[in-house]
Copies of this chain bind each other. A is one copy, B any other.
């Protein structure tokens, strides 16, 4: 196999046609006589010719590649979304360049630069906190961008999310109905639009349930399991008997710490996790969870992106997918 880059010219020569015709055949252009098409196809098979996508990209200004930027692929939350993105992407013949940002503004900036220099046709962005700087950069690009699980406060950038406000309201109400008087909430930074929505939903639910809002019961938990274990101490100190945890990994940490302390779940303490990523089913007791349709979020986002890339009409930029609360063993 001496494979020294056989080009479209080689194929043309062997098939006895011009390279233009070969190009037509390769690209499925209809204007080719069946007989010549067959000659070309034979030559392609004979030479084991494979089109060079880079050259193609240069000439056509399309790379059939989209950039995906996310905090870290090791999170089952982002992994599930990403799987949805990839499935739809490959369905539309796109590939995915993936980059982990650790939600670091500087890294995000660099990744964005790289993606643009690589001429990606579109970008899928995930990141709990959408920094102002990054947001501006995203808006100033000609390249289509879709946010997933991330809210742009101004609702300018296309995005796919669930109704965080409603989900927080429902989860809190559920805990209230189960008789909990002190209900905690662990979410990400309150500077994120997404969490502001959650906060409002939480407060509304408390009020409607005749409970008092106490900011001491709201905690900022990042993505870590350890964080969850640490927060349990404070939850218990403050008399909390039920908690809604936005990030699943943190929820698992909370559960583990409670179990280790001998606190009975759900008898003495109830937990509702926030995104129904796979791990919520793996724990024992399994975690009641807000079911964010993660795979679908990714799939829908990618579908939206294809429309944007192909300049199709898009009636609505801000997509909201349905969620539900899946009852498992961590609530009564």
| Any B CB within 8 A of the CB of A58 | yes
If A114-B95, A118-B53, A140-B1 touch, whether A83 touches B73 (CB-CB below 8 Å) is: yes
Q: A86 within 8 Å of B by Cβ? A: yes
- Residue A113 is within 8 A (CB to CB) of chain B in the complex: yes
Q: Which residues of B lie under 8 Å from residue A278 when comparing CB positions?
A: 74, 225
**Is A283 within 8 A of B281, CB to CB?**
no
Q: In the assembly, what is the distance between CA of A253 and CA of B279, in Å?
A: 11
User: Which among A96, A113, A249, A286 has the greatest number of chain B C-beta atoms within 10 A?
Assistant: A96
Instruction: Report the nearest B residue to A82, measured CB to CB.
Output: B73
Is the C-beta of A99 less than 8 angstroms from some C-beta in chain B?
A: yes
Is B117 within 8 A of A51, CB to CB? yes
- Copies held by the complex: 2
**Is B118 touching A65 in the complex (CB atoms < 8 A)?**
yes
Specify which chain B residues have a CB less than 8 angstroms from the CB of A65 in the assembled complex: 97, 118
Contact B83 A72 (CB under 8 A): yes
- Bound Cα distance A259, B282 (Å): 11
Residues of B within 8 A of A97 (CB): 65, 95-98
Question: A58-B58, A65-B97, A73-B73 given. 12 additional CB < 8 A pairs?
Answer: A52-B117, A53-B117, A54-B54, A74-B80, A83-B100, A86-B99, A95-B118, A225-B282, A256-B282, A256-B284, A279-B279, A282-B283
Q: What are 28 A-B residue pairs whose CB atoms fall within 8 Å in the complex?
A: A1-B140, A50-B116, A52-B58, A52-B117, A53-B114, A53-B118, A54-B54, A54-B118, A55-B58, A73-B73, A73-B79, A73-B86, A74-B80, A79-B79, A83-B100, A86-B100, A90-B99, A95-B99, A95-B118, A96-B97, A96-B99, A97-B97, A97-B98, A225-B282, A249-B282, A256-B282, A259-B284, A260-B284
